[in-house]
Amino acid sequence: MSKPPVLTIAGIPQAVALSERVHWIGGLDPALRTFDIILKTANGTSYNAYMVRGNEGVAIIDTVKESFADDFFARLESVASYDEIKVIILNHLEPDHTGALPELMHRAPQAQLYISQKAQSMLKALLKQDVFAFTPVMSGDKVSLGDRTLTFFHTPYLHWPDTQCTYLVEEKTLFSGDVFGCHFCDARLFNDFVGDFRFSFEYYYAHIMRPFKDYVNKALDLIEPLLPVNTIAPAHGPLLRDQPQQYVQRYRELSRSALLNEVSAGEKTLLIFYISSYGNTRRMAEAVYEGAMAVEHVRVSLYDLEGSEIAPFVDLIEGADGLIFGTPTINGDAVKPVWDLLSSLAVVNLKSKLGGVFGSYGWSGEGVKMVEDRLRGLKLRVPIPGIRIKLIPTEEEIQVCREFGRQMAQDLLGLRQAKVIDMADLA
Amino acid sequence: MAKASITFEDINITVTAPAGTRLIEISEKVGSGIVYGCREGECGTCITKVTEGWNNLTEPSVLEDKVLRENMAGKHNRLACQAQVLGGAIKVKPV
């Protein structure tokens, strides 16, 4: 087996060869402990950038965070001169990959910049200047370096709208951007040399890719036909040259439902979460539950928020079709356990799920409306106005709750009858 | 004031709304699956398919056209946060 790479000679950062024509020219950030506010890392991270050499010029794929630009340029200079650079490709425009771009464009003004179709407005917003010409590319577009060809795969929302992968055809190397990446800094670089990064790989997926599972599956449809590849070269973490296909398979596994789903085809799932101080919102919840259960082909579940940690509920919500929240109003607000759950859902896709809210209140009852607004903000559909009941629900009011549950369940099945309403009558 | 009749096909509801109302305002209130992001014509989250009544909406601005192009939107797509209803019948659904 070959030896781990040498990253520095006499204090000068050096490029690391993936092959005769491909070099890693990135930066290592072992001290980082928090990334993008939302991610912890026990092992720092790396900002991977690459140089590809063809007989008609050089391509640079991604750059690094601005504070690591010196290492990036030193490594680049160890394997190429700036006047050789014909092509600069950005797979993803987040600042940790574009921090050295302005200086690189300054040093290699002849280079043509390639970004994805969806990256155009972001490039302008990131650089706050209009000086760079660029070529937007889509899946299947190619750029030639003579005897080396780079082709693009548009993989939106992995994890920004702009993200793409670039494939070096002749060497079967996939420069995957953040896809298949992780925050794990190890100077040995290659996955057959580095320490155990399995946790980091899974953690990265859970926080960065999980909200976009549908897009991950679409991207894998583009990537899997390339297999077997020789190397997957992501923008963070180890370079995957040993069994790279197993990481593709793992992404496919992780992009399935988090929980085994016992619901049969044609059935919909409706989850009702509630919390109650004096039992009034609980009585409403039970009535909503009864009403929804009367509708066939809807699997309804009722959960008291006091009875669980948040994480299992997040898994349940990810797989559900409809969500109803029952919250009392205390001091003019919905209660903290409800907000805690509703502020923990950024890791799952909620778009177009059905939402509804109900709750008992003492004197003003703002909580229901506030949670409805939050659900709309989370991109749920909230077609049926929520139910607010002052203190103890009467039997008539309980019947209103049953009807609310029934309507929600019917809506999930698309059973609502065509209706014409005037905008002025909408809440 | 002129009124338009907008049908949200995904929920089978038709709303009559005054001319000049933005599609997103109606969609949000009625609970259609058309969801919004920035509401300022920038992010492309609210791209909507117009299945009938294209000419009963305001013309897309240069900025909206640019955002639609960048997001590789289809031919009969609009940004719900930008398109205002003018009158007549319009049918829309989420993309």
Q: Do A422 and B16 touch (CB under 8 A)?
A: yes
Closest alpha carbon to A65 in A164, A223, A183: A183
Tokens of A58: 């050089």
Contacts of B67 in chain A (CB under 8 A): 121
pLDDT at A36 over 90: no
pLDDT tens per residue across span A54-106: 999 999 999 999 999 999 999 999 999 999 999 999 999 999 999 999 999 99
Q: Return the pLDDT at B37.
A: 84
Q: Do A420 and B16 touch (CB under 8 A)?
A: yes
pLDDT at A129 over 90: no
Question: Average pLDDT, stretch A147-161?
Answer: 96
Most A CBs within 10 A among B11, B14, B36, B65, hence the mutation to make, goes to B11
- Which CATH number fits the domain B3-94, given the four candidates 3.40.50.720, 3.30.565.10, 3.40.50.1000, 3.10.20.30? 3.10.20.30
Cβ–Cβ < 8 Å for A164, A217: no
Q: Return the pLDDT at A121.
A: 84
Is B70 at the interface with chain A, CB within 8 A? yes
Cβ–Cβ < 8 Å for A383, B11: yes
If pLDDT is split at 50, 70 and 90, which confidence band does A37 have? confident
Cβ–Cβ < 8 Å for A421, B11: no
pLDDT at A427 over 70: no
pLDDT at A374 over 60: yes
Cα–Cα distance list, B31 to A158, A402, B8, B10, B34 (Å): 28, 20, 9, 10, 8
Domain ranges of chain B: 3-94
Q: Return the pLDDT at A373.
A: 92
Per DSSP, chain B holds a count of helices (H) and strands (E) of: 2, 5
Q: Do A423 and B72 touch (CB under 8 A)?
A: no
pLDDT at A384 over 60: yes
Higher pLDDT, A200 or B95: A200
User: DSSP of A298-349, one letter per residue?
Assistant: EEEEEEEGGGS-HHHHHHHHHH-SEEEEE--EETTEE-HHHHHHHTS-TTS-
Closest alpha carbon to A32 in A23, A44, A15: A44
Q: Return the pLDDT at A414.
A: 86
If pLDDT is split at 50, 70 and 90, which confidence band does A391 have? very high
pLDDT at A1 over 60: no
Q: Do A426 and B11 touch (CB under 8 A)?
A: no
Q: Above pLDDT 70, what percent of chain A?
A: 99
The interaxial angle of helices A395-412 and A280-293, nearest 10 deg, is 50
| Mean pLDDT for chain A overall | 94
Question: Average pLDDT, stretch A397-425?
Answer: 92
Contacts of B28 in chain A (CB under 8 A): 376
Tokens of A306: 């006091």
Q: Do B33 and A381 touch (CB under 8 A)?
A: yes
> Distance between CA A6 and CA A13 in Å, rounded?
9
If pLDDT is split at 50, 70 and 90, which confidence band does A131 have? low
Tokens of B23: 């599609």
For residue A364, count other CB atoms closer than 10 A to its CB.
12
Tokens of A303: 């959960």
**pTM confidence score:** 0.87
pLDDT tens per residue across span A356-371: 999 999 998 999 999 9
Question: Average pLDDT, stretch B20-28?
Answer: 94
Q: Above pLDDT 70, what percent of chain B?
A: 100
Q: Return the pLDDT at A130.
A: 66
From the CA of B25, how many Å to the nearest CA of chain A?
A: 10
Question: Which residues face A89 on adjacent strands?
Answer: A61, A114
Q: Return the pLDDT at A415.
A: 82
Closest alpha carbon to B23 in A419, A349, B33, A370: B33
pLDDT at A133 over 90: no
From the CA of A423, how many Å to the nearest CA of chain B?
A: 5
